[in-house]
Amino acid sequence: KLPDNAGTSVTVMDLDGYYLPTFNELKNHEEELRSIPDWQARDDDLMICTYPKSGTHWIWEIVSMLVKKKAERVSAVKETAMLEIMAKATLDNMPSPRVLNSHVYFEYLPKDFAKRRCKIIYAMRNPKDVAVSFFNHHSKICEYEFSGTWENYVQRFLKGDVDYGTWFDYTQKWEKFMADNPEYPIFMTTYEDMKQDPLRQVTRIAKFLEIDCDQAFLQEVTDLCQFDRMKKEKDALGEQVDAWKDGVPGMYRKGQVGDWKNWFTVAQSELFDRVYQERMKDSKVQPRFTL
Ligand code: A3P
ipTM value greater than 0.95: yes
pLDDT at residue 26 in the model: 66
Amino acid 24: pLDDT: 54
Active-site residue, 103 included: yes
Instruction: Please give the number of the atom of ligand 1 that sits closest to the Cα of 198.
Output: 24
Comparing 19-23, 109-113, 140-144, 229-233, the range with the smallest average pLDDT is: 19-23
- Mean per-residue pLDDT, 27-32: 79
> Measured in angstroms, how far is the CA atom of residue 239 from the centroid of ligand 1?
14
Q: Please check the confidence at residue 161 and state whether its pLDDT lies above 90.
A: no
Among the ranges given (22-26, 86-90, 91-95, 122-126), the one the predictor scored with the smallest mean pLDDT: 22-26
CA of 160 to the centre of ligand 1 (A): 21
- Give the range among 28-37, 70-79, 233-242 with minimum mean pLDDT: 233-242
pLDDT computed for residue 239 by the predictor: 65
Q: Could you tell me the distance, in angstroms and rounded to a whole number, from the CA of residue 163 to the centre of ligand 1?
A: 18
Residue nearest atom 8 in ligand 1 by C-alpha distance: 53
Distance, CA of 259 to CA of 144 (rounded, Å): 23
- Say which residues have a Cβ less than 8 Å from residue 290's Cβ, sequence separation at least 6: 257, 258
For residue 199, the cross-strand partners are none
Which of 29, 103, 137, 138 is the catalytic position? 103
**52-66, 101-115, 195-209, 238-252: least confidently modelled range:** 238-252
* 86-100, 119-133, 217-231: segment of lowest average pLDDT: 86-100
Question: What residue ranges line ligand 1, CB within 6 angstroms?
Answer: 50, 52-58, 129, 133, 136, 225, 227, 230, 252-255, 259
The answer to which of 134-143, 191-200, 222-231 has the lowest mean pLDDT is 134-143
Give the model's pLDDT for residue 122.
98
- For residue 77, report the distance from its CA to the centre of ligand 1, in Å: 14
Take atom 17 of ligand 1 and give the residue whose Cα is closest.
255
Residue 6, pLDDT score: 39
The minimum-distance atom of ligand 1 relative to the CA of 103 is 7
